Every structure is written in structure tokens, then in C-alpha cells.
Chains A and B, each alone.
Chain A
Amino acid sequence: MSNEAMAFQSCYHCGLEVPQQGDFSLVIQGIRRAMCCPGCAAVAATIFENGLQSFYTFRSAPSAQVVENSYSEAQENPYTDWDLEEVQSDYVSHTDQGLLSIRVYISNITCAACTWLIEQHLGKLPGIDRIAINGTTRRGEIIWAPNAISLSQILRAIKQIGYDARPLSHDSTQSSTTNESRKLLLRLGVAGLAMMQTGMVAIALYAGSFQGMQAEWQTLLRLISVLFVTPVVFYSAQPFFTSAWRSLKMGHLVMDVPVALAITLAYSASLWATLRGGGEVYFDSITMFSFFLLLGRFAEQRIRDKNLLLLNRGTELPPVVTQVFPADRVQVAKADKQVPIKSLSVGDFIRVDAGQIIPCDGLIEEGTSQISEALLTGEPQPQSKQAGQSVYGGTVNGANPLLIKVSAIGEASCLASIVKLAERAALDKPQWAMVADRLAGYFIALLLLIAGVVATYWWLHEPQRALWITLSVLVVTCPCALSLATPTALTVASNILRARGFLINRMHVLETLASVDQVVFDKTGTLTEGKLKLVSVAASLTATEISEQQMVAWAGLLERGSQHPIAIALLNHPGLDLASAITEQDFIIGSGVSGKIGTEIFYFGRPDWVRDIAGLCDMPDMSGICSGEAQTKSKDQAKNQAKNQAKSQSIDVALARNGEWLATLSFSDQLRPTAIEAVNQLRQRGLKVSLLSGDPSPGAAQILKPLELNDCQLSLQPQQKLTAVRDLQQRGTKVLMVGDGINDVPVLQAADVSVALGQASDLSQIHADVTLLSGDLRALPEAIATATQTRRIIKQNIIWAIAYNLVALPLAAAGYVPPWAAAIGMSASSLLVMLNALRLTRGAKRSGWMAANGTPVMESL
């Protein structure tokens, strides 16, 4: 294969590596664009057809991979259930003009260009009145005219350009977070405007105190300042007072205590000075102080909100379900009725067809099927389940229709309770903040003690100066820069990483990531793609004249409509021709499938099953036949060897026609395209890379061989994985764990930093500290580099803030710091801290990220 020699080629749409077999490339405007899968190709074609190609020029992050391609106009619309009125009632609201409006969560939004693309694409549809998408929260509101377009058409239009919209029900979490952040922004804005005004007035006052000024004008200017400062103290600074009060009631000290104290003292003393005439005023310091602190708080809140909103993604469950009425069980088909899920209650019976998502927890009453629990466990291999076993909401019924007795719905279901747990965990205060808070507690206690000592000293010696000097001490030592030091740097760094698809869910990540010594991968779906691919077709001796294409087409036809991984692998095989019709298709769980194509009966399944059912003699050794006799003459030795190697790690499925063996199709999991590069880069950084896998097959080790891992342990139970990680940690190693399923959760939580891949289930993404949205493992070493740099900057900031305090404190205590100097010193040090944090973005640009992930590189291919 000449492709093997070729360098890494990225998909024009999603930026992932283009697979070596198959060609999905599209010729657009005369240029051939590489595509990794039919889904990406279809999406790119739709985008170009609609004249929206500037999306590719402007986007700043690659799009998500699309994979499936089943949403074109010609095919049945999968969203039609959303058109039912009883389903819409929970999601849709009516506007005054007789239009409908709905809020949706849109997954896969990676940058601002995505929101533009969706708005442009939808805006062209007839009947869309208004559409507004917020790229930060990935939420949008759509208003449409129900007589011109249906909701299902809108949802499908979004799917056609590669995004996935899920309607959001009317709930309050979203609106309360929005309200909180709006309120904080308002406080910040008021403080900012007031800061500018009092600053302006303060310049006049300072000039006056140098050059002399009539008392009349001084009083006027001070009164004007009072006018601006009062709303800052009573409105903008309110969060500091409430939090200080709360912490005092709970008996510990936080940063807000001296902040509140300084604001109160400065405000009341300045007010007193204004009314009495004489003394000093600190109005400009108060506003600046509040503004900078609010700015830090605003930055922090924005990250927290973003993470919280990313968690609440709406439901993945289907909106309606077929209810079966037990009294009429004899004639199940007639009694079936489509009902919205919310109208079900425990004890009802429902039918779930093959390929459908099971909407609630329940017990299987009738039927046997393969159930994919990937959403819960991240394990792509389906589980065989039969009557009497329980199934969980969110899992997918793979093979046969099932009759299920509902045991828990909605809030009570397994899925909902795990989501709730995870949401609570996300709200927990990040670890670093707790440590910083404890340190700050001591620091503040010390500050207050010093301020007290200074006040007493001056009270005994020069009572008329005592108040002003104490104030000056409080203002000068205010931990403003200190409290900005960490959040600014963390905000900048997490924004940079987000552009790379590295979403940080917990704030401690950046701090811990820098000290990680070992990266531990969980095999399934992390280093490998976690899905099967057809790697070879070995024709039997009697069937060598039949083309490989034809064999695959037969197998694909037999597997049509199944959700089994092998079926999916076949249906995704490039160039598959499914034109013929198949009849009498019969799936036998755990064995295979048979069916009639034309007049001939075909079998596709486990070799021994095919032998028995088709009444064949033992299967001839096909690999021997093909490579040994038929092929060695023509093909080179190397390929042969590669083929044999591939065999040892693959799943073989036999294809037979009537009474004759046709071929053996081999499927195997593939190494993720970016894995080798990522592992090499990690090792260059001096990290150990190892693997703890639950996979028992020796094939796993084979697939992973090119990675040259430091340590590779197979067939481990979750408990053993946990012990292994704990062992490493006891030896003082900091562990970064990359996993993708709920069964990894214990290990993910034990690890110092955990990363879930974007293709993993929603649930494990929620549990992990980081979601790697792009699935591009090369983001790991880059994130570690950024984290190291961030930690350096935070350290610099903290050192600066403390050094400043150490110098300023004695000067202020000795009474050498006039109010203007205190104000300038405080704001200059805060500004310095923020500018230092911004240096991170420059570092990111220098290291060539923009070129590494942006379109320019792909354009040049």
C-alpha cells in the first residue's frame, strides 16, 4: 500500500487522521479534500452546497468527527417523534405571534464559527423566525412558524451539518446560572464606571492637595465621589460582605474578611472626613479595589458556569416509547401505542425494537437481545441479556425486540442518579482553592493582627493619625494581587486548552497536571478506536474468483439493520454496495445471521455455527490456502507476514453460501491514529507511559506493540486497576489516567488527574477532570506543557504579591504611605499580575498551536 508510506493526512472536516483503507475524499471547487469517514464527507458537502464554506476559513478549532451518515433528505427523518404535541409540551413554548420557540443543547460546538454556521444554515430554511446560539454554553433558542416547518425538520437540518441538537425542557438550572453571572457582570460594570469617575475626581483632589485648593471645591469634589462610591459599596461590593459574614458565622477566615473590613473602614472614614471637612479620603481606592476583585471573581465564575452548563446537556433518551398493555398481551401488536415517556409509570410494559435506546430502567419480560451499555460502561461490546435480567435507561437494544417491564423512570433511574452525583461533584470546591483558602486564612489572620498592633501603637502615641495609618495598612496590604494571582492565570490557560478540545472540568487540573510523572491508559477506546474494522477477507479455495467487494457486500447485506459491532464495521466499510435485496433475514444471538439474497441462502457468523447450520464439513484452513498457495506466488512476503500478524489479534467470521464456504472476514480494533505521536511526545517530556487494561485478549498487546509502552498489564479487574494506581501513588508517582467508561470511574477518581475521551459516554465525561473533546491524544503532551507554564506564572504572581506586601506593610505601618501611593501601589501590582497571566497566550502562539490545529495546515494539503 502506497498510503502507508505517506505522511499523516488529516480529514478536511474533523482533522483526524484519514484511514488507510477507503477513500471518502470529495472534490470541492476543484480541490480534492481528504475525508475520514462518509459522515464528515456528507457534512462538508452540505456545507459547501449551501455556500457556507467560509466556515472552514474562519473556524479556530477542528470540528467533531461525524461518522454516521444517515440524515439526508431522502432517508426517513429520525426526529419525527418530536413533532407529537404531547412530547413538545414539556419543551416548546408559544410566542405572542403564534410562533413556537424551543431551547436546545447543541453538542460538538467547538468554536465561534460553529455558531455562525448553524445560524446561517438554519436561517435559510423557510419558516425559521429567529435563531440565536450561544457558543459558550452551547445552547440555542430557535423560534419558528409551525405551519411552515416542523421541529423534526429543524433538528435534522442541524444534524446535516454535523451537530447534534437535543431539546431542553423548561428547567431552572440554566436560568439561575445566567442570572447569577449577569448580576455579577452588572456589579462589575457599575464598579468600573464608578472607578473611572472617582479616579477622575481623585486626580483633581490630589492636584489640589499639592497646589492648595479652596475648601469649597474640595468638599464639592468629595461629595461627587461619595455619589459614585456609595452604589459601589452597597451594590457592587455586596458579595464580599455576604461572604465575609458567612465565613465569620462559620468561624473561619477567608480573603473576603479583610476586604469587607477595608471597604467598610475606608468608606466610613472617608465619609466622615467629607462631612467634617479635613482628613483624607480613600474613595478612589475603594472603587478600584472593588473593581479588580470583582474582575477576578467574574473570571472564576465564568469558568465554573461554563462547566456546569456543559454538564446539563438535555436528554439522550427518545421522546416516545411503544407502550404495551399487559391485558392484551396475546395480541401485542394491536395493543401497541406510542406514548411520551413521561406518561409511563412503574409496572407498565413497553416494547423496545432493535436499534432503539431503552428509555428507562426495567426487567426484560420477553425476548433475548444484545444490549450495548456503552453509555454506562464505555464498553463497546454488547452484552447478551434475556428474560428476567435488568436493563438500564440509556443503553441500546442491539438485536431483537424486547418486552420490558418498567422498574424506574426519570429521576429514580440509574442514569439520572449517576448524573446527579456527578453534578454535585462538579459543584464541589476545587482542591487547590481549598488549600489556597486555608493559607489565606492564616495570612489574613496575620494581617488583621498586624493592623490591630499598628492601630494600638499609633493610638497610644498619636491618636489623631491612628485611624488613617491603620486604613493605609489595610489598603496597602489588601490581598488584591494575591487573590487575582491564581484565577487570572488559570482562566487564560483553560481558555487556551479549550481551543485544543481539552475541556477542564475541575480547576485543580492545571495545578496537578504540571507534576504528573506517569500517564496510564485504559486500553478500550483510549489508545485504540474501540470499534472493529474489517481488516482482511480471505477467500476459500473454491471461491477465489469472487471479488473481495462482492464478499463484503453479501456480508453487509446479511448484517443490515443490526447494531452489532461487526455489522457496524461492515456498514462503514468504504465502497460497500448494498443494492440487492435480502429476505428471510434471521439473527441468532451469539452465533450469526442467515438470509436469502436472490435465490441463494447465505450464512455469516461464528465458523462452527456456520458449519453446523449449513451442513458443511470442517472449515478448510483458509488463511493457509490463501497466503500459502494462492497468494505467495504473486504477493510479497512482507504483506503476508503482516496479514498473519493481523490474524492473531482479530475476530474471524465465516461467510457461506448454500453448502459452500466462501470466505473468512477478519475484524480487529485499530490503534488510534494520533496515539503513537502522543505517546512519543509524552516520553520526550520524561513521563512514563503505561497501560492497565481489562481486555483479556493477547491481541490487545499485539495492537499496542508499536507504542513501546513502559508497562503493559492485561485482563485486570477494575479493583486490580485501582490497586495498581494506588501502588504507583504510594511510591510517590503522580498519575494521569486516560479512560473512557463508567467502569473506569473508580480508577479515574483515584488518579491525580483523569481524562475522558470525547467519544466516551456522557457519564464518564462528567466524572473525569478533563474531557478530551477532539479525541486527539496529542493534546495531552501539549496540555502538560501549558500546565507547567501556568504553574510557573502562578508562582511568579504569588511571589510578586507577597513581596509587594512585605515591602509595603512596614512603610504603611510607619505612616509613610499617603493614600495616593497606596492606591497606585495596589492597582499597579494587580495589573502586573494580570499582564503576567496574559503572557500564557503568547507562549501558546509561539509553540505553533494555531498552525497545528487550525485550517491553514489542512488547506495546504
Chain B
Amino acid sequence: MESLYLLIPISVIFIVIAIRLFFWAVNSGQYDDLDSEGERILFDRASSEDELEQLETLDKKEQLDKPQ
């Protein structure tokens, strides 16, 4: 049971870190838009194959453009 004296303070430290992270996330505006952010990930992966192709060509173009 004495291990509680070690384990509980460790868990408290974790919580403090979690709260700090949460404060950082909120204050940097990550929770300002709760509606569209959740769906965004769905749009970025195009569904049909030709869209994938288009994305790939775009990626290639970007890579070609970069060195210049």
C-alpha cells in the first residue's frame, strides 16, 4: 500500500501536464471551430481514383517546383 505515496503524486503530475496541454490547445485557437475541424480529415483524402491521380500529379508538381 505504501506504493500509493509514489503512484498518486505521479498521477497528479500527469494531470497537471494534461491541463497545461489543454490550456495551450484552447488558447492557440484549436477549439474555436468545433464543427468543421472534425470533418476536415475526410475531405483531404479524395475518394474516387481520378481524384487521387490528380492529387498525385499535384504532389509531383510541388516536388518539382520546390528546388527552383
A residues near B (Cβ < 8 Å) are 51, 53-55, 57-58, 60, 111-113, 115-116, 133-137, 178, 181-182, 185-186, 189-190, 193, 197, 217, 220, 224, 227-228, 302
Q: Are A134 and B39 in contact (CB under 8 A)?
A: no
Residue of B nearest to A186 (CB): B26
Q: Are A112 and B26 in contact (CB under 8 A)?
A: no
Q: Are A178 and B32 in contact (CB under 8 A)?
A: yes
Known: A51-B58, A217-B1. A112 touches B40 (CB 8 A): yes
- Classify the secondary structure of A's interface with B: helix
Complex contacts, A189 vs chain B, CB 8 Å = 19, 22, 26
B residues near A (Cβ < 8 Å) are 1, 4-5, 8, 11-12, 15, 18-19, 22-23, 26-27, 29, 31-40, 42-44, 46-48, 51, 54-55, 58
Complex contacts, A302 vs chain B, CB 8 Å = 34
Q: Are A58 and B19 in contact (CB under 8 A)?
A: no
Complex contacts, A228 vs chain B, CB 8 Å = 15
Q: A51-B55, A135-B36 are in contact. List 4 more A-B contacts (CB 8 A).
A: A54-B47, A54-B48, A112-B43, A178-B32
Q: Are B18 and A224 in contact (CB under 8 A)?
A: no
Q: Please report the number of residue pairs spanning A and B whose Cβ atoms sit closer than 8 angstroms.
A: 81
Q: How far is the CA of A708 from the CA of B26 in the complex (A)?
A: 54
Q: How far is the CA of A55 from the CA of B46 in the complex (A)?
A: 10
Among the listed B19, B31, B46, which residue makes an inter-chain contact with A54, where contact means beta carbons less than 8 Å apart? Answer: B46
Q: How far is the CA of A178 from the CA of B48 in the complex (A)?
A: 38
Complex contacts, A136 vs chain B, CB 8 Å = 32-36
Among the listed A57, A113, A135, which residue makes an inter-chain contact with B47, where contact means beta carbons less than 8 Å apart? Answer: A57
Residue of A nearest to B25 (CB): A189
Q: How far is the CA of A185 from the CA of B30 in the complex (A)?
A: 11
Q: How far is the CA of A472 from the CA of B64 in the complex (A)?
A: 71
26 contacts between A and B (CB under 8 A): A54-B43, A54-B46, A55-B43, A111-B36, A115-B33, A115-B36, A134-B32, A134-B33, A134-B36, A135-B33, A135-B35, A137-B33, A182-B26, A182-B27, A182-B32, A185-B31, A186-B22, A186-B23, A186-B26, A193-B15, A193-B22, A217-B1, A220-B5, A224-B8, A227-B12, A228-B15
Smallest beta-carbon distance B6→chain A, Å: 12
Residue of B nearest to A306 (CB): B35
Q: How far is the CA of A197 from the CA of B15 in the complex (A)?
A: 9
Among the listed A51, A113, A133, A182, which residue makes an inter-chain contact with B43, where contact means beta carbons less than 8 Å apart? Answer: A113
Complex contacts, B36 vs chain A, CB 8 Å = 111-112, 115-116, 133-136
Q: How far is the CA of A54 from the CA of B41 in the complex (A)?
A: 13
Residue of B nearest to A115 (CB): B36
Q: Are B33 and A190 in contact (CB under 8 A)?
A: no
Smallest beta-carbon distance B61→chain A, Å: 10
Among the listed A51, A60, A112, A116, which residue makes an inter-chain contact with B51, where contact means beta carbons less than 8 Å apart? Answer: A51
Nearest first, the 8 closest Cβ-Cβ pairs linking A and B are A112-B36, A135-B36, A112-B39, A134-B33, A116-B43, A51-B54, A115-B36, A189-B22
Smallest beta-carbon distance B16→chain A, Å: 10
Q: Are A58 and B42 in contact (CB under 8 A)?
A: yes
Smallest beta-carbon distance A443→chain B, Å: 32
Q: Are A224 and B12 in contact (CB under 8 A)?
A: yes
Complex contacts, B39 vs chain A, CB 8 Å = 58, 60, 112-113, 116
Residue of B nearest to A29 (CB): B50
Among the listed B8, B31, B44, B54, which residue makes an inter-chain contact with A182, where contact means beta carbons less than 8 Å apart? Answer: B31
Complex contacts, B58 vs chain A, CB 8 Å = 51
Q: How far is the CA of A135 from the CA of B39 in the complex (A)?
A: 11
Q: Are B8 and A220 in contact (CB under 8 A)?
A: yes
Smallest beta-carbon distance B51→chain A, Å: 6
Residue of A nearest to B32 (CB): A134
Q: How far is the CA of A137 from the CA of B36 in the complex (A)?
A: 11
Complex contacts, A181 vs chain B, CB 8 Å = 32
Complex contacts, B33 vs chain A, CB 8 Å = 115, 134-137
Q: How far is the CA of A181 from the CA of B38 in the complex (A)?
A: 19
Q: How far is the CA of A54 from the CA of B51 in the complex (A)?
A: 8
Complex contacts, B37 vs chain A, CB 8 Å = 112
Q: Are A193 and B19 in contact (CB under 8 A)?
A: yes
Q: How far is the CA of A197 from the CA of B27 in the complex (A)?
A: 23
